[in-house]
């Protein structure tokens, strides 16, 4: 080994030692901490808590979660911020529209826990905060052409559709997420291959909520099947569940177009979320126009298309 190489090695070791000492003195910003406070500590003085933290402040947080109906695990309020406490925080955050689902108790989460204040999330209405109706379509279109034709027709009518395609549909090339969003529509998760989530494990549900399915902020469980494990999995992924308020039941079989249109125009009220399927007979420009006309006659409008590319992970819809 040359003297020059030897010198470089010594220098590298010295730099590494200096960085190690500095790190130990300053501490890591993500390091766990023992934090103290009580139920009477002002909200403004309550610290950010995260997985790994310990102490009386964690115990205060856990007691608040339990009082709101969220389990923190079999050991209860033990002052240890572990996996179950993080999941409880995530579940609580998912119940409020504007709280970020990250499992950390920041000021906004503390405030919602203590006061109950904040905009509650509606699992039926989803992220639509307006009185406009959302027309949502699950599954997979019969062909790519049927998909692009419907996307273009809706955009021309000023309508923003909400799509919940399966990952298998994306793999088959019958649905294009980027294309739909570029034309002002919204695309969310509907699993990879449509299993009943209540019959599979937590880990298996997490996999279904990822790629090649749509990775986003909202998802619709197949069959609308939900239990505690399903809710936990969505919260663990930082996602909110979006169901529907009116079901056309076109999933039972090939309902005639006129029947689906009649259902939407006579039974859907302002602000509701309608469930249909891309493989159904109402997934075409003619049916869409009739639905829009029938609702308009009642003074009801459909989610408005702004003509802009929609976000992959929106907080709310710009209806």
pLDDT in tens, 214-233: 999 999 999 999 999 999 99
Domain that holds residue 85: 43-115
pTM: 0.88
More confident residue, 1 or 61: 61
Q: Are 67 and 167 in the same domain?
A: no
> What pLDDT score does 34 carry?
82
CATH of residue 79's domain is 1.10.101.10
**CB 120: neighbour CB atoms within 10 A?**
10
> What pLDDT score does 28 carry?
37
Q: Are 155 and 198 in the same domain?
A: yes
pLDDT tens profile 302-319? 999 999 999 999 999 999
83, 115, 147: which is the final residue of a domain? 115
Q: Are 95 and 152 in the same domain?
A: no
Is 315 a domain residue?
Answer: no
- Does 128 have pLDDT greater than 70? yes
> What pLDDT score does 191 carry?
98
> Dihedral of CA 241/264/168/307: which sign?
negative
Q: Are 105 and 178 in the same domain?
A: no
CATH of residue 246's domain is 3.20.20.370
Number of domains making up the chain: 2
Is 160 a domain residue?
Answer: yes
Is 22 a domain residue?
Answer: no
Cis upstream peptide for 244 (omega within 30°):
no
> What pLDDT score does 13 carry?
33
> What pLDDT score does 253 carry?
80
> What pLDDT score does 15 carry?
32
Q: Are 149 and 100 in the same domain?
A: no
> What pLDDT score does 31 carry?
56
> Dihedral of CA 68/70/73/79: which sign?
negative
- Does 1 have pLDDT greater than 70? no
Q: Are 103 and 54 in the same domain?
A: yes
Crossing angle (nearest 10°) for helices 56-67 and 83-94: 50
Q: Are 147 and 292 in the same domain?
A: yes
pLDDT tens profile 21-76? 333 322 333 456 788 999 999 999 999 999 999 999 999 999 999 999 999 999 99
Q: What is the mean pLDDT of the chain?
A: 91
Q: Are 209 and 88 in the same domain?
A: no
Which of 105-114, 138-147, 184-193, 250-259 has the weakest average pLDDT?
250-259
CA distance 294 to 260: 12
User: Which H helix or E strand runs over 267?
Assistant: helix 257-267
Q: Grade residue 141 by pLDDT with cuts at 50, 70 and 90.
A: very high
**CB 279: neighbour CB atoms within 10 A?**
18
CA distance 156 to 148: 12
> What pLDDT score does 71 carry?
96
Q: Are 162 and 224 in the same domain?
A: yes
Is 318 a domain residue?
Answer: no
CA distance 81 to 32: 9
What is the percent of the chain with per-residue pLDDT over 90, rounded to a whole number?
87
Is 313 a domain residue?
Answer: no
307 is written with which tokens? 């003509």
Task: Write down how long the chain is.
Answer: 319
- Does 4 have pLDDT greater than 70? no
Residue whose token pair is 């995530």 = 90
Q: Are 97 and 176 in the same domain?
A: no
Q: Are 107 and 191 in the same domain?
A: no
The residues near 2 (Cβ < 8 Å, ≥ 6 apart) are none
> Dihedral of CA 122/125/130/131: which sign?
negative
115, 146, 177: which is the final residue of a domain? 115
115, 147, 165: which is the final residue of a domain? 115
- Does 246 have pLDDT greater than 50? yes
Q: Are 67 and 194 in the same domain?
A: no
Q: Grade residue 8 by pLDDT with cuts at 50, 70 and 90.
A: very low
Is 278 a domain residue?
Answer: yes
Is 289 a domain residue?
Answer: yes
Tell me the three-class secondary structure of 133-191, residue by residue: EEEEEEECCCCHHHHHHHHHHHHHCCECCEEEECHHHHHHCCCCHHHHHHCCCEECECC
19 is written with which tokens? 């960085």
> What pLDDT score does 5 carry?
38
Is 26 a domain residue?
Answer: no
């Amino acid at each position: 080994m040359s003297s020059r190489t030897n010198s470089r090695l010594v220098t590298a070791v010295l730099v590494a030692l200096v960085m190690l000492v500095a790190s130990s003195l300053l501490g890591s910003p993500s390091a766990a901490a023992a934090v103290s406070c009580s139920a009477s500590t002002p909200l403004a003085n309550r610290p950010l808590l995260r997985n790994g933290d310990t102490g009386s402040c964690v115990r205060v947080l856990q007691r608040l979660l339990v009082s709101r109906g969220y389990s923190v695990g079999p050991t209860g309020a033990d002052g240890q911020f572990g996996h179950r406490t993080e999941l409880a925080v995530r579940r609580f955050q998912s119940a409020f529209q504007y709280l970020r689902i990250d499992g950390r108790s920041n000021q906004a989460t503390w405030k919602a826990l203590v006061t109950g204040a904040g905009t509650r999330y509606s699992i039926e209405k989803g992220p639509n905060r307006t009185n406009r109706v959302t027309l949502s379509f699950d599954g997979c279109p019969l062909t790519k052409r049927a998909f692009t034709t419907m996307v273009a027709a809706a955009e021309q009518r000023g309508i923003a559709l909400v799509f919940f395609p399966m990952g298998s549909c994306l793999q088959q090339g019958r649905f294009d997420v980027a294309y739909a969003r570029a034309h002002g529509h919204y695309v969310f998760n509907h699993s990879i291959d449509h299993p009943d989530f209540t019959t599979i494990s937590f880990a298996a549900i997490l996999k279904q909520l990822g790629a090649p399915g749509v990775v986003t902020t909202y998802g619709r469980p197949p069959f609308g099947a939900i239990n505690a494990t399903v809710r936990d999995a969505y919260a663990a992924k930082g996602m909110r569940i979006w169901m529907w308020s009116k079901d056309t039941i076109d999933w039972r079989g090939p309902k005639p177009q006129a029947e689906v249109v009649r259902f939407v125009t006579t039974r859907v009220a302002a602000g509701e979320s309608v469930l249909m399927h891309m493989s159904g007979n109402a997934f075409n420009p003619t049916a869409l126009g009739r639905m829009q006309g029938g609702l308009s006659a009642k003074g009801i409008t459909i989610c408005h298309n702004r003509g802009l590319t929609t976000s992959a992970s929106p907080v709310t819809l710009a209806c």
